[in-house]
Amino acid sequence: MERVTSLARPVRSAAVPARPSLAKLMADIEAMPSHPSVPLRILWLADDPRSSSSDLAKAVELDPALTARLLRMSNSAYYSLRTPVTNVSRAITVLGFSTVRSMAAAATAGLDDGSELPAGFWDHAAATANATQLVAPRYMVPGGDGFALGLLHDLGTALLCRADPEQWEIISANGENPEAEREVYGLTHPEVAARIFEVWRFSPEFTNAVARHHWRLTAREEPMTRCLIVGETIAAIAFEQLDEEALAEAHETLQAEGFQPEHVARIAARVVEEAASLAAALES
């Protein structure tokens, strides 16, 4: 889960037909609301304040794959329940609407259909989801929304990888590089995800946070954006993905946000302890 920016190999010219592949993928996903799949209906239902757990459970049960994933996740070591979860209604109670919604979004995007994903995709998603959920109260962001932000923030990398796996492997060899992504695909992974979330009716705050999660953190950013940037930064610290200079800058940024080194260390230790079980549940 390296997070540095230098390229290991030259990037292929944008004239090579990678963009049409991405354009078709984006067009297909953006057309989904015209003929919504079961996961997309679940996504919308979970966002409707009039929906009950029973309403959502009935919808989830129409999708066997999503049902199985939610049951596996709710029974994972991450939640450490004494009594096994055996039905969808109980799974929704354990996970919460925001998590169910994020899992439906992942299914809608095809992250569970066996397609190739970027290396370490679920590991990074789990670590960031965990850390973002833990810091969410500082920003008055609901914990479930913080979890969903962390879980889905790199959806764009999965879609770029699917559009051209060979080229994605080249440009991501030494970590995410939005400049190279734009050169090759015409869009960066935060922009790809933001476009999808906008079409899927996620809130502007959620969409903006995903779009701006690689921006420099400032007090002018919206709470959700700051929450996500801080969560991803702490996840990177937890798994020692920053070089000495980047680590010093990260701690300086976090201190400006009110996170003292000892506080960061406690959160990071918890992320290291908990993220692996969550990633295992997501990958299964």
Please give the pLDDT value at position 115.
77
Average pLDDT over residues 7-32: 56
Rounded to a whole number, what is the largest CA-CA distance in the chain?
A: 56
Please give the pLDDT value at position 264.
97
Please give the pLDDT value at position 9.
36
Please give the pLDDT value at position 20.
44
The answer to whether 230 touches 254, Cβ cutoff 8 Å, is yes
Average pLDDT over residues 85-96: 94
The answer to whether 167 touches 177, Cβ cutoff 8 Å, is no
Identify the residue with better confidence: 16 or 62.
62
Please give the pLDDT value at position 60.
93
DSSP 8: S
Percent of the chain whose predicted confidence (pLDDT) is above 90:
63
Out of 1-15, 96-110, 180-194, 237-251, pick the least confident.
Answer: 1-15
Please give the pLDDT value at position 173.
86
* Residue 7 CB-half CA count within 13 A: 15
Confidence of residue 269 (pLDDT cuts 50, 70, 90): very high
Average pLDDT over residues 84-89: 95
Residue 141 scores a pLDDT above 90 = yes
Please give the pLDDT value at position 17.
41
Please give the pLDDT value at position 250.
96
Tell me the residue ranges of DSSP E strands in 47-200: none
Among residues 135, 161, 180, the alpha carbon closest in space to that of 14 is found at 180
Confidence of residue 29 (pLDDT cuts 50, 70, 90): confident
Confidence of residue 4 (pLDDT cuts 50, 70, 90): very low
Q: How far apart are the C-alpha atoms of 2 and 172, rounded to whole Å? A: 9
Residue 122: alpha-carbon gap to chain centroid = 9
Residue 268 scores a pLDDT above 50 = yes
| Residue tagged 């699917």 (tokens) | 162
Residue 86: helix, strand or coil by DSSP?
coil
Q: How far apart are the C-alpha atoms of 224 and 78, rounded to whole Å? A: 24
CA dihedral sign of residues 90, 94, 96, 101: negative
Q: Per residue in 108-125, pLDDT tens? A: 888 877 778 999 999 999
pTM: 0.86
